[in-house]
């Protein structure tokens, strides 16, 4: 796991941002597309349920600079609260998060935006970016879910100071806030 302000911001953005965005999109569609049971006489053929497709939105928020889990709300086709689980090594050009909701989960592979700034006098760091996500690998009532979309990520924080009073870019930040807004289209196959 990376340490330091910029590394933490990039890790949180790439892992949290992508995963959270993907999670938001997938969660709504998956919940709506829950399997509908039909009562049929013995020996009768079952009719496959149709896939459900629709718009979904995700919002992910965190106030921790070091946690690998974040609060998630999905709304649209489905409305549900969940948790975005970031990978421990999500620092490459893409990473995969797991969005967990009551009754199941799915994976969200997302791009990791680059960029950010650090003010060495005030210790303020800012990181923002856009990216894309893809939803796959559903379990439970989200089995068969797929989808994709776009997200925006914004992170603001204050870095720690060294014993001499200088702003540190290698120590974990003393405060951080992350917001990811994502939207896309999801499809749940039955």
Radius of gyration of the chain (CA): 19
pLDDT band at 48 (very low <50, low <70, confident <90, very high): low
With CA atoms as reference, report the closest residue to 19 among 104, 107, 131: 107
What six digits make up the tokens of 50?
Answer: 């149709």
Condensed to tens digits (0 to 9), the pLDDT of residues 137-166 reads: 999 989 989 999 999 999 999 999 999 999
What six digits make up the tokens of 168?
Answer: 């540190």
pLDDT band at 68 (very low <50, low <70, confident <90, very high): very high
For the question of whether the overall pTM of this predicted structure is more than 0.85, the answer is: no
Rounded distance, CA 76 to CA 112, Å?
Answer: 25
pLDDT higher than threshold 60 for residue 100: yes
What six digits make up the tokens of 12?
Answer: 């949180």
Rounded distance, CA 125 to CA 77, Å?
Answer: 36
CA angle 115, 126, 18 (to 5 degrees): 60
pLDDT higher than threshold 50 for residue 58: yes
pLDDT band at 120 (very low <50, low <70, confident <90, very high): very high
With CA atoms as reference, report the closest residue to 31 among 60, 54, 61: 54
pLDDT of residue 123: 97
What six digits make up the tokens of 53?
Answer: 């497709």
Q: How many CB atoms lie within 10 A of CB 8?
A: 25
């Amino acid at each position: 796991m990376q340490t330091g302000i910029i590394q933490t911001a990039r890790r949180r953005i790439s892992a949290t941002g992508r995963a959270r965005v993907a999670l938001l999109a997938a969660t709504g569609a998956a919940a709506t597309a829950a399997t509908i049971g039909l009562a049929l006489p013995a020996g009768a053929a079952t009719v496959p349920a149709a896939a459900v497709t629709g718009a979904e939105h995700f919002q992910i928020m965190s106030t921790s600079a070091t946690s690998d889990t974040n609060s998630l709300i999905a709304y649209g086709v489905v409305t549900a609260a969940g948790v975005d689980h970031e990978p421990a090594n999500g620092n490459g050009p893409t990473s995969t998060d797991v969005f967990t909701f009551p009754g199941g989960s799915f994976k969200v592979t997302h791009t990791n935006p680059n960029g950010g700034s650090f003010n060495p006098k005030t210790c303020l760091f800012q990181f923002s970016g856009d990216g894309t996500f893809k939803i796959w690998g559903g379990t439970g009532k989200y089995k068969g879910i797929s989808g994709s979309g776009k997200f925006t990520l914004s992170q603001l924080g204050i870095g720690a100071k060294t014993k001499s009073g200088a702003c540190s870019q290698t120590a974990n930040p003393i405060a951080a806030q992350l917001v990811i807004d994502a939207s896309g289209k999801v499809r749940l196959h039955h």
